[in-house]
Amino acid sequence: MADSDEEYVGDVTDDEDDLQVTRKDRVTTRKKKQRGGAEWELARTWETLVEGADGTISSTVEGLLEAGKRKRLLKDTTPLQRGIIRHLILALDLSQSMSEKDLRPTRYLLTLRYAQDFVREFFEQNPISQLGVIGLRDGLAIRVSDMSGNPTEHIEAIQSLRTHDPKGLPSLQNGLEMARGALFHTPSHGTREVLIIFGSLLSSDPGDIHQTINTLINDKVRVRIVGLAAQVAICRELCTKTNGGDETAYGVALHEQHFRDLMLDVTTPPASYSQKESASSLLMMGFPSRTVESSPSLCACHSKPSRGGYLCSRCGSKVCSLPAECPSCSLTLILSTHLARSYHHLFPLMNWVEVPWREAVRSKACFACGLPFPTGPPEDQAQTVENPTKGMSASSRYECTACQNHFCIDCDLFAHEVVHNCPGCQSKSIPSVNEVGNPDGMDITV
Amino acid sequence: MDTIDASEHYELGTTEIAPSLLTVIIDTNPHAWATIEDALPFSKAVANILVFINAHLACNYANEVAVVASHLQKAAWLYPVSHHSQKPADRDGDVVMNGDSNGPQTSKYRSFRLIEEQVNRSLKDLLDSTSNDDFRSNTSTMLAGSLTLALSNINRRTIAWAEEHGGTKPDEVAGDGGGLATANGSAAVEDDRSLQSRILIVSVSGSSDSAHQYIPMMNSIFACQRLRIPIDVCKLSGDAVFLQQACDATKGVYMSLSEPRGFLQYLMMGFLPDQRSRRHLVLPTRIDVDFRAACFCHRRVVDIGFVCSICLSIFCEPPAGNECLTCGSPLDAGNLGGKTGSSSEKEEEEEEDPPSKWWFGGWDANVGACDSDSRALNIIILDLFNEGWNLH
Amino acid sequence: MAASMSRPLEYLESLPGTTFKKLYQQPSTALAIFRRMLPDLAKCFVMAMLYLKDPLPTSDLEKWVRSDSKRQRDNALSILGRLHILSTTLTDNNVRACMVNDPFASSLRQALMGSDDAQSFGVLSQTSNESTITVADLDEYARRQWEGVLGYMVGTSGLGQRDINLSKGVKQLLQAGHLVEIRNHHVDITKDGFGFVLQDVNTQVWHILILYVESAQAIGMDSVEVLSFLFLLSSLELGQSYDKKGMTSVQLRTLTDLADFGIVYQESPDATRFYPTRLATTLTSDSNALSTPASGSLNGPGQPGIPGTGFIIIETNYRLYAYTSSPLQISLISLFTNLKYRFPNLVTGKITRMSVRRAIDKGITADQIISYLLTHAHPQLRKHNAGQATSSSSTMPISVLPPTVTDQIRLWQLERDRLKATPGFLFKDFSSLADYQTPCEYARDIGVLVWKSDRKRMFFVSRHEEVVAFLKSRS
């Protein structure tokens, strides 16, 4: 806040920077392949600015902002098969290199904070998956929390790390071996993954790490690493090999925001490679309802008296918490709301398309929120103002191709990122959707 | 003695109390209303809801309200009505308001009156636009659509409010909060400073009606959960599985009215307090929640289902050809939890006779009419509250 | 909310019970008091009981509120009692129960549902609008008049900016309220006056209106009638004109006086209709909702009518930038700032120890300075600090102003303020510890406890009526 003159245009430039940085990333990775990464990256931010008719650049800047918003949306939305029951070990570097202050407040504290966000987001995206946390310090791997499906357990364990200081050197090999041990017994229909947050530039290992890599490949464990300092050759090799040659599994954080993005990317369920790798199976599950009794009774899982609980849908035994396996009839009991959390991955909302001016006359306001749209330019200028920036609609309208309603950019974002429903499609009945018994009649369009 | 402590300078901030936005979703399914017509006719229910809306507006000058109808074939805005869909009504609407304002209407606070008129008018338009075909072909209601519309509007208002007042944007809050994060102290402070939104669903349709909207419903519910928007449900007849889950997930109030005639009193006591007041109140909510899900193949509501391990689709019976209907992966049906039990199906599709005549032919929601008998029921209502209190 | 609400609340409380009966006859008054004067919880209580036929047993009410919110409950009930809205009775089977008193309950019900009484929310003017007055016009008028009043007090009219004809009545009113003193034909602002000008507009208007009601009694107008007319005004619609037909002479006279303040607008004193301005229509909103639109309209000619426009940016190094050209605002800022440069739409300066001390010497408090800065904070400042707070530390609540500055201003004040006087009542000589503790806790719960000493068994309260009643009910 030293100089106010710069401070208060800050918002615009910040966003612009973000835009540039992410663009730069892509450029970087591409260039690295071509020229071995020895290229100075130049972000020519000024070249994207074009003066508007009134001689200012405000319209372009706004366009860039809007395009930036939309960029996040324009991703592949074809329904993918995703191995959603995941088993993941989060390995945190707790060595002395984490006390560096290049990420604020320190690498260590920031990592712990993002790790908590990661756990939350992970269970949001992968509701019935399992997660475990380990730490690397003093050349050892330490167990922070065991494999479980309860996010609060992990968050508490990570929070308790705050009181410790990072020290010693990390050992990748020990960490990987411990992770492999934890993932060894997981069922075959799930994925096995390790995510390492690695702040050091070295690994002090007791043996040959290449052997460990080979056993990991045999056990179908995929390793992803987020580096905090610089690229390390062994990390790159580790990620490439365990991910079948995919280099994107290794990323080095440029700044705080990028670090967070890299970490949260991992929460998206990965595409499964082929049918064979993970044999799919049909699981029978019960969706018990919660009951409250007037007098306490014993629960079947811990034999403790309690008033509230869930009754198994098949045999009626009472369990205290979900998800659980019924102790008497071994039916998997789960909250249906947990499953439903992930359905927007199954039936993603289609991307909406930009509306050119000539079709824009159909609507005057956003269908969902009633925000009035700008009226079109006169006919003769219509050509010149078309599409100033890619991904952004000149008429500020976005159309859902299924229901052909027009929406504003905010509703577009909101519908795709938060609700995952199209307000238009949901608001009128489409007869084919309502036919009972139609095999794929779940409205895939929504 | 005044001392400086760290918390003091934040108190000024919390004195700025944000207004709240109430979105009422009225289930206008005529089939369902017909079943409770004796106890609570539709027009009276609307009149009661309007009084309730007035009460909400009376609580704070800046409070806002939105009303969505969840009808047979579509979900539609009742208030506010955007210009493009309501051109004629809106244009001469203003003129009419100035014109006939010399009647008894002036005895009403103007903003109350504007909303009442608008709701009544758009409700009438909605009912007029319902064709007999729609009426016969549909028995359900577009609850998921109206929830989505309501959420879009909440999103718009929250952004607008944040821009005006420099508060936090909704996506920032959502990014921080996550669905599993419990509201802690700082979240509560933050909530005080951004627009407080909540949704009230006045529902009459049964749950089997909405099973085909299972996924969109759930998506909306999770959106509410992320944005910390409580969904309150006032159930006038029947019981709805998914709405129970909605209340449970968003920590809203769920009341199933045994005596619909006391509707207004239920609304006033149970649903009027906003999030800030709710921190101090014990509100009747559902403790036993029905967590059944709808299967993807036949849209039955099931309590035991078969789940595809790839995509987590739920089926009520192993799909034909051992292939997942959603993601197409071949399924190994061996692991069915030991025994093969047939899925029990509790909700039977009831074939109900359509009401013989167009039951709400000419009605007018007269707000003044709901006064006397809705006050006579306090004993029943207090019993219900007592029940809720004792459970806690 | 507290600051702007307390004054009208205090005034109303001082009225006798019969006055309330008369006041609550009007639906608009009931609505305004309900909306404006009650805390959230009290609103819930009133609404829950409004449509109950029988009184609600107190035990049920207690069950309804969470056990850890007992304080808020007692506070709410106490305010409801003081405003004569709620009363406790004994039902047939000797259960203590409370209910909403009748003139209030029926008026509020009328407000919610409408009634036959055509007068209760004003009569829209029927005459066709050839000369339409837009909302912007009204805002401009209100701004000019109100700034004129403030300018008169601060003495900026000497800057030769404009001539607002302040009527004699206005000047007398300001003098009667001890906001200004006239010494040798020279207007001098008092300590109260300094506090007054720094408050947000809503509080100022209430302050003036209460002075007005008080003085109305002196010149033979019925204060109840004036008061309920004010509440009626607050429920009118901005931008609409209302008919003067059917108004009593007292109301007409009030209207003329209020026009001087910019609270209502009429083309001429004997026009047949009047327009309420934003100052009137937002009287019963909460302070936040108002501070933005009305202060936006009062900001100065630079950006009239844009809601939510603050203009002050303050940095952690105590530098202050104010994007305004209004001489009134500039002179207000100069009360506690050393101004340095002045540009066509911007003044800059620095808050120093000396400048704050100078302000405090004049009777301005640190809280007033801070709340003034907060009310007029630039949207960028709000946005920036809000954004920073979420990104850096999510555990700390957001503060719009830099905490260093607010703390320092308070510290500067503390350097001088070593004693604080609170008028009130001392309770002492309790025979046992239990006798002492219960009323003491009760006093704390209803928020009147100022000081206590467990060792000496005495406590000090700011108001005693309820504590006395409590003690009596126990003995």
User: Measured between alpha carbons, how far is residue C165 from residues C151, C260, C329 in Å?
Assistant: 12, 9, 20
* Residues A427, B149 contacting (CB under 8 angstroms): yes
**Complex ipTM > 0.95:** no
CA A433 to chain centre: 30
Given the structure tokens 């079947």, which residue do they identify?
A300
Tell me whether residues B167 and C285 touch, CB distance under 8 A: no
SS3 B266: helix
DSSP string over B65-84: EEEEEE-SSBEEEEESPPTT
Asked whether residue B340 falls in the same domain as residue B235, the answer is no
Angstrom distance (rounded) from CA A193 to CA A190: 10
Contacts of residue C304, defined as CB under 8 A and 6 or more positions apart, other chains included, come to: C136, C139, C140, C143, C296, C297
Residue type, C425: F
Q: Has domain A86-265 been given CATH number 3.40.50.410?
A: yes
Angstrom distance (rounded) from CA B279 to CA B228: 14
Determine, yes or no, domain membership for B359: no
Contacts of residue C359, defined as CB under 8 A and 6 or more positions apart, other chains included, come to: C194, C335, C336, C369
Tell me whether residues B291 and A335 touch, CB distance under 8 A: yes
Residue A94 token pair: 């707790």
Neighbours, chain A (3 or more CB pairs < 8 A): B, C
CB-CB neighbors (< 8 A) of B309 in chain A: 85, 189-190, 280-283
Whether the pLDDT of residue C349 is over 90: the answer is: yes
Which residues of chain A are at the C interface, by a Cβ-Cβ cutoff of 8 Å? 1-2, 4, 7-8, 10-11
Given the structure tokens 């999510």, which residue do they identify?
C394
User: Measured between alpha carbons, how far is residue B146 from residues A282, A400, A408 in Å?
Assistant: 34, 17, 18
Asked whether residue B263 falls in the same domain as residue B302, the answer is no
Q: Of the ranges A228-232, A325-329, A370-374, C392-396, which one carries the lowest mean pLDDT score?
A: C392-396
User: What's the average model confidence in pLDDT over C17-33?
Assistant: 83
Distance (Å) from the alpha carbon of B261 to chain A's nearest alpha carbon: 28
- Give the residue from A285, A349, A397, A444 with the most B CB atoms within 10 Å of its CB, the best one to mutate: A285
Tell me whether residues C315 and A10 touch, CB distance under 8 A: no
Residue type, A269: P
Distance (Å) from the alpha carbon of C437 to chain A's nearest alpha carbon: 38
SS3 A407: strand
Number of structural domains found in chain B = 2
Asked whether residue B125 falls in the same domain as residue B213, the answer is yes
Residue B33 token pair: 């209303």
Q: Label residue B263 by pLDDT band (50, 70, 90).
A: confident
Domains in chain C, CATH or no CATH each = 2-113 (1.10.10), 135-281 (no CATH), 310-414 (no CATH), 425-474 (3.30.70.2610)
* Residues C319, A4 contacting (CB under 8 angstroms): yes
User: What's the average model confidence in pLDDT over C285-292?
Assistant: 41
Residue C124 token pair: 């829209």
Asked whether residue B53 falls in the same domain as residue B112, the answer is yes
Rounded to whole angstroms, the maximal C-alpha distance in chain B is 80
Please provide the distance, in angstroms rounded to a whole number, between the alpha carbons at the two ends of chain B: 41
Asked whether residue B152 falls in the same domain as residue B193, the answer is yes
Query: What's B98's domain CATH number?
Result: 3.40.50.410
Q: Give the tens place of pLDDT for each residue, A73-109.
A: 454 444 444 556 788 999 999 999 999 888 878 899 9
> Is residue C238 less than 8 Å (CB to CB) from chain B?
no
Closest among C316, C320, C317 to C330, alpha carbons compared:
C320
Q: Give the tens place of pLDDT for each residue, C59-87.
A: 888 888 888 888 888 888 888 888 888 88
Percent helix, percent strand, percent coil in chain A, to nearest 5: 35, 20, 45
Asked whether residue B104 falls in the same domain as residue B205, the answer is yes
Burial (CB count within 10 angstroms: exposed 0-12, middle 13-18, buried 19+), residue B89: middle
Residue A197 token pair: 């947050």
Looking from the CA of B117 toward its CB, the CA atoms found within 13 Å total 21
> Is residue C45 less than 8 Å (CB to CB) from chain B?
no
Angstrom distance (rounded) from CA B350 to CA B138: 13
Please provide the distance, in angstroms rounded to a whole number, between the alpha carbons at the two ends of chain A: 46
Tell me whether residues B312 and A332 touch, CB distance under 8 A: no
Asked whether residue B103 falls in the same domain as residue B32, the answer is yes
A195 sits in which H/E element: strand A191-198
* Residues A339, A127 contacting (CB under 8 angstroms): yes
- Report strand pairing: C425-427 vs C56-57: unpaired
Rounded to whole angstroms, the maximal C-alpha distance in chain C is 77
| Minimum Cα–Cα distance from A110: chain C residue | C392
- Residue B34 or A17, more confident: B34
Angstrom distance (rounded) from CA A351 to CA C91: 64
Residue A52 token pair: 């508007």
Distance (Å) from the alpha carbon of A105 to chain C's nearest alpha carbon: 9
Determine, yes or no, domain membership for B1: no
Angstrom distance (rounded) from CA C51 to CA B267: 11
Determine, yes or no, domain membership for B250: yes
Angstrom distance (rounded) from CA C334 to CA B67: 48
- Residue A336 or B200, more confident: B200
Angstrom distance (rounded) from CA C287 to CA C309: 15
Residues within 8 A of B (CB atoms), A 159-198 only:
189-190
- Residue A209 or B308, more confident: A209
Whether the pLDDT of residue C249 is over 90: the answer is: no
Determine, yes or no, domain membership for B37: yes
Asked whether residue B69 falls in the same domain as residue B216, the answer is yes
Angstrom distance (rounded) from CA A418 to CA A414: 5
Q: Give the tens place of pLDDT for each residue, C351-390.
A: 999 999 888 888 788 888 888 888 788 878 877 766 554 4
pLDDT at A141: 92
Task: Check the CA dihedral B212-B218-B220-B221 and report its sign.
Answer: positive
Residue B348 token pair: 């039977």
Option in B98, B168, B268 nearest C50 (CB) = B268
Q: Give the tens place of pLDDT for each residue, C134-173.
A: 777 888 888 788 878 888 887 765 444 455 567 777 888 8
What top-level class would CATH report for the domain A347-434?
A: alpha beta
Share of chain A above pLDDT 90, in %: 18
CB-CB neighbors (< 8 A) of B72 in chain A: 429
Asked whether residue B190 falls in the same domain as residue B265, the answer is yes
Angstrom distance (rounded) from CA B189 to CA C398: 8
Q: Where are the domains of chain A?
A: 86-265, 285-337, 347-434
Angstrom distance (rounded) from CA C274 to CA C252: 10
Asked whether residue B235 falls in the same domain as residue B318, the answer is no
pLDDT at C303: 33
pLDDT at A421: 85
- Give the residue from B78, B310, B347 with the most A CB atoms within 10 Å of its CB, the best one to mutate: B310
Residue type, B220: S
* Residues A345, A84 contacting (CB under 8 angstroms): yes
Contacts of residue B252, defined as CB under 8 A and 6 or more positions apart, other chains included, come to: B198, B199, B230, B231, B232, B233, B246, B285
User: What's the average model confidence in pLDDT over A129-149?
Assistant: 88
Contacts of residue B179, defined as CB under 8 A and 6 or more positions apart, other chains included, come to: A120, A124, A341, B222, B225, B226
Tell me whether residues C397 and B368 touch, CB distance under 8 A: no
User: Measured between alpha carbons, how far is residue B207 from residues A385, B239, B361, B369 in Å?
Assistant: 50, 7, 27, 31
Asked whether residue B296 falls in the same domain as residue B202, the answer is no
State the CB neighbour count (10 A cutoff) for residue A74: 13
Q: Label residue A63 by pLDDT band (50, 70, 90).
A: low
Q: Is B194 left (phi over 0), alpha (psi -120 to 50) or beta?
A: beta
C446-468 burial, b if ≥16 CB within 10 A, otherwise e?
bebbbebeeeebbbbbebbebbe
* Residues C352, C318 contacting (CB under 8 angstroms): yes
Determine, yes or no, domain membership for B367: no
Q: Is C421 left (phi over 0), alpha (psi -120 to 50) or beta?
A: beta
- Helical segments of C306-376, H only: 327-333, 353-361, 366-375
pLDDT at A252: 92
- Give the residue from B281, B285, B391 with the most C CB atoms within 10 Å of its CB, the best one to mutate: B281
| Domain with B314 in it | 292-347
Local structure of residue B22 (DSSP, 8 states) = E
State the CB neighbour count (10 A cutoff) for residue A105: 11
Residue A38 token pair: 């020895």
Angstrom distance (rounded) from CA C101 to CA C142: 37
User: Measured between alpha carbons, how far is residue C167 from residues A100, B228, C149, C278 in Å?
Assistant: 69, 53, 10, 21
Q: Label residue A391 by pLDDT band (50, 70, 90).
A: low
Of the three residues B290, B307, B330, the one that is the final residue of a domain is B290
* Residues C321, C348 contacting (CB under 8 angstroms): yes
Angstrom distance (rounded) from CA C441 to CA C305: 48
DSSP string over C247-259: --HHHHHHHHHHH
pLDDT at B8: 38
- Any idea how long chain A is? 446
Tell me whether residues A4 and C316 touch, CB distance under 8 A: no
pLDDT at B90: 35
Size of interface A-C (CB pairs under 8 A): 19
pLDDT at A90: 94
Angstrom distance (rounded) from CA B36 to CA C32: 37
Of the three residues B310, B328, B347, the one that is the final residue of a domain is B347
> Is residue C350 less than 8 Å (CB to CB) from chain A?
no
pTM: 0.71
Q: What is the dihedral of CA A97, A103, A105, A111, to 10 degrees?
A: -70
Q: Give the tens place of pLDDT for each residue, A2-53.
A: 444 443 443 444 444 444 444 444 444 444 444 333 344 445 555 555 555 5
Residue C293 token pair: 């639109």
Q: Of the ranges A232-241, A394-403, B70-79, B371-380, which one carries the lowest mean pLDDT score?
A: B371-380
Local structure of residue A280 (DSSP, 8 states) = -
Asked whether residue B244 falls in the same domain as residue B321, the answer is no
* Residues A286, A332 contacting (CB under 8 angstroms): yes
Angstrom distance (rounded) from CA A192 to CA C116: 73
Of the three residues B290, B306, B338, the one that is the final residue of a domain is B290
Angstrom distance (rounded) from CA B105 to CA B140: 36
Task: Check the CA dihedral B161-B162-B168-B171 and report its sign.
Answer: positive
Tell me whether residues C410 and B110 touch, CB distance under 8 A: no
pLDDT at A303: 76
pLDDT at A171: 92
Determine, yes or no, domain membership for B191: yes
* Residues A381, A391 contacting (CB under 8 angstroms): no
Determine, yes or no, domain membership for B144: yes
